[in-house]
């Protein structure tokens, strides 16, 4: 059954329902209050549109096609329903703030049902993502997979330590909020899922892989001990924590901190930290950089690892010399990329680390935010010069198991997880 395009439902204005649970089943896109502007991307699992309301506000509309399950019954996938539920849960938690911080979770504006019982998520629109700004800066080839050489020089604005501190403080605050207040493990933190708006705001997107921690919120004394046994991860392998690569099924919020540590390293290098297509290649790369797991009986890092005849020492300090990051920054990176998840720093602890806290850091945050906004503005102009790229980074759609760290960049269909 092919799904019709949205354009046949355009035309009439209607109010956008604030309460997703009160939307009647018969409601279609005709009653959502949005008129289609353009189709951004379409694939086997869904389509992404730009929609405009009566006041001219533009939103991203993530339309999820129904899929057949093992019994042959067609319906909306569990991941899509989970994403809508978790985003609604986060939005309700965020209402108490009374303001919109520069760093946060992608805002869910509403949920409507499309024809054939398809689901549409109406989300705030972000134009770019951090991978485009930090790694490729407009050099991506649209419509075909291509190899991307490393940038010849590092961007001077992104190389400023105050800007990196500003971005990492914001990213870690998002994770602290998810882990401690919403009790959610995102499980797919990466540059491509950190979206950037025109004003420089950063939003974490793609909650199709996210899970609630298994303890009831009121009974959770410590986020660190909140273990969960969800399904296996379908995410980009270069951001996977070593415990996941080794087959651990009972993992914690520490997997998000590891991924944020990889993001931290990518901000410093302005290139991918790891490259690999398989779990074995990734483990080899991790141990070459960080050393092989400890033999300490108290450590859980090597419980499922094989015994190696040759022990490798960490080369992290060689990869990140003083010319790239200070000793305090390197210490934070080490703590975020700790092989043992039980010893890995939490998001809240990372925010209190000397590299990200203290009067000296606070003094330069306003300047860093201005520099970041100027950089985003320049990237927006660069993107506008590529008509076929405009709006392609509004947000990610669905689980993306592609490997961004391989020698060949995934094609644009995979960017949306369609």
| The pLDDT value given to residue 130 | 94
CB 87 within 8 A of CB 121: yes
pLDDT at residue 231, as a whole number: 52
**Could you tell me the two tokens for 225?**
């001990």
Instruction: Assess if residue 254 is contained within a domain.
Output: yes
Residue 396 forms part of a structural domain: no
Active-site residue set? 188
Residue 226 pLDDT greater than 90, yes or no: no
Is residue 287 located within the same domain as residue 241? Answer: yes
Helix/strand/coil percent split, the chain, to 5: 40, 15, 50
Pair (95, 38) in one structural domain:
yes
From CA 92, how far away is CA 250, in angstroms rounded? 28
3-state SS, 291-337, equals CCCCCCCCCCCCCCCCCCCCCCCCCHHHHCCCCCCCHHHHHHHHHHC
Output DSSP code: residue 399.
-
Q: End-to-end CA distance of the chain, in Å?
A: 17
Q: What percentage of the chain exceeds 70 in pLDDT?
A: 70
Residues β-bridged to residue 59? 51, 124
Residues 181, 347: Cα–Cα separation, whole Å = 12
Q: Residue 340's pLDDT is what?
A: 94
Q: Is 143 a member of any domain?
A: no
pLDDT tens column, 306-336: 555 467 888 999 999 999 999 999 999 999 9
**67 exposed, middle or buried (CB, 10 Å; 0-12, 13-18, 19+)?**
middle
Residue 134 lies in a domain: no
Q: DSSP code of 155? A: -
Same domain, 153 and 106: no
Q: What is the CATH number of the domain that holds 35?
A: 3.30.200.20
Residues recorded for the chain? 418
Average pLDDT over residues 236-241: 92
Query: Is 130 part of a structural domain of the chain?
Result: no
27 compared with 304, residue with greater pLDDT: 304
Q: How far apart (Å, rounded) are the C-alpha atoms in residues 39 and 382?
A: 21
pLDDT digits (tens, 9 = 90+) for 148-183: 445 457 789 999 999 999 999 999 999 999 999 999
408 lies in some domain: no
| pLDDT at residue 229 greater than cutoff 50 | no
DSSP 135: I
- Distances in whole angstroms, Cα of residue 134 to Cα of each of 234, 246, 324, 332: 24, 29, 15, 20
Distance of alpha carbon 371 from alpha carbon 377, whole angstroms: 10
What's the count of helices (H) and strands (E) in the chain, helices before strands? 12, 13
Query: In this structure, what are the phi and psi dihedrals at residue 87, rounded to the nearest 5 degrees?
Result: -65, -35
Residue reference for tokens 């398809």: 118
Pair 116, 181 in one domain? no
| Confidence class for position 5, pLDDT limits 50, 70, 90 | very low
> What is the reported pLDDT for 307?
53
Domain membership of residue 366 as a residue range: 149-377
* Residue at a domain's end among 80, 107, 124: 124
Neighbours of 189 (CB within 10 A): 27
User: Do 103 and 153 have their domain in common?
Assistant: no
On whether residue 292 sits in a domain, the answer given is: yes
Looking at the structure of the chain, the number of domains it has is: 2
Q: What is the CATH number of the domain that holds 163?
A: 1.10.510.10
pLDDT digit string (tens) for 357-390? Answer: 989 999 999 999 999 999 999 998 888 776 555 4
Instruction: Evaluate whether 147 touches 162 at the Cβ level (below 8 Å).
Output: no
Supply the mean pLDDT for the chain.
77
Domain co-membership, 361 together with 322: yes
Same domain? For 273 and 352 the reply is yes
Residue 401 lies in a domain: no
Query: What per-residue confidence (pLDDT) applies to 342?
Result: 94
45 and 78 in a single domain? The answer is yes
Question: What is the reported pLDDT for 352?
Answer: 97
Residues 351 and 348: their CA atoms lie apart, in Å, by: 5
Q: Let me know whether 100 and 158 are in one domain.
A: no
Residues 221 and 320 in one domain: yes
Residues 168 and 97 in one domain: no
Angle ∠(378,383,388) on CA atoms, nearest 5: 175
CA dist 383 and 127 (Å) reads 9
Which of 146-160, 191-205, 261-275 has the lowest average pLDDT?
146-160
User: Are both 222 and 309 inside the same structural domain?
Assistant: yes
Beta bridge partners of 124: 59
Convert the pLDDT of each residue in 121-156 to its tens digit.
Answer: 889 888 889 999 998 764 443 333 334 445 457 789
């Amino acid at each position: 059954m092919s799904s019709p395009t949205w354009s046949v439902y355009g035309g009439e204005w209607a109010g956008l329902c604030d309460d997703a649970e009160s939307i009647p089943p018969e409601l279609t896109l005709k009653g959502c209050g949005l008129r289609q502007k353009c189709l951004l991307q379409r694939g086997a699992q869904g389509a992404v549109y730009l929609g405009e309301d009566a006041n001219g506000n533009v939103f991203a509309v993530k339309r999820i096609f129904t899929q057949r399950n093992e019994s042959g019954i067609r319906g909306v996938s569990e991941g899509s329903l989970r994403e809508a539920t978790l985003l609604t849960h986060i939005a309700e938690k965020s209402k108490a703030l009374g303001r919109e911080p520069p760093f946060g979770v992608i805002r869910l504006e509403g949920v409507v049902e499309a024809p054939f019982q398809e689901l549409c998520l109406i989300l705030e629109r972000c134009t770019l993502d951090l991978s485009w700004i930090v790694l490729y800066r407009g050099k991506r080839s649209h419509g075909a997979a291509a190899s991307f050489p490393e940038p010849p020089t590092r961007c001077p604005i992104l190389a400023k330590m105050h800007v990196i501190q500003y971005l990492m403080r914001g990213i870690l605050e998002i994770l602290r909020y998810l882990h401690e207040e919403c009790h959610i493990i995102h499980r797919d933190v990466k540059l491509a899922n950190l979206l950037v708006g025109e004003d420089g705001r950063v939003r974490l997107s793609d909650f199709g892989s996210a899970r609630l921690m298994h303890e009831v919120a009121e009974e959770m004394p410590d986020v660190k001990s909140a273990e969960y046994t969800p399904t296996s991860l379908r995410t980009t392998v270069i951001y996977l924590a070593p415990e996941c690569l080794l087959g651990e099924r009972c993992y914690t919020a520490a997997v998000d901190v590891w991924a944020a540590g990889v993001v931290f390293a990518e901000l410093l290098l302005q290139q991918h930290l790891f490259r690999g297509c398989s779990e074995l290649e990734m483990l080899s790369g991790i141990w070459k950089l960080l050393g092989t797991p400890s033999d300490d009986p108290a450590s859980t890092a090597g419980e499922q690892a094989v015994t190696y005849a040759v022990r490798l020492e960490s080369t992290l300090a060689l990869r990140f010399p003083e010319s790239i990051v200070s000793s305090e920054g390197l210490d934070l990176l080490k703590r975020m990329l700790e092989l043992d998840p039980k010893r890995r720093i939490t998001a809240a602890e990372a925010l209190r680390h000397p590299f990200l806290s203290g009067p000296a850091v606070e003094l330069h945050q306003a300047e860093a935010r201005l520099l970041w906004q100027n950089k985003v503005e320049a990237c927006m102009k660069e993107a506008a010069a590529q008509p076929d790229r405009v709006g392609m980074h509004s947000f990610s759609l669905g689980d993306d198991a592609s490997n961004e760290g391989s020698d060949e960049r995934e094609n644009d269909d995979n960017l949306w997880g369609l």
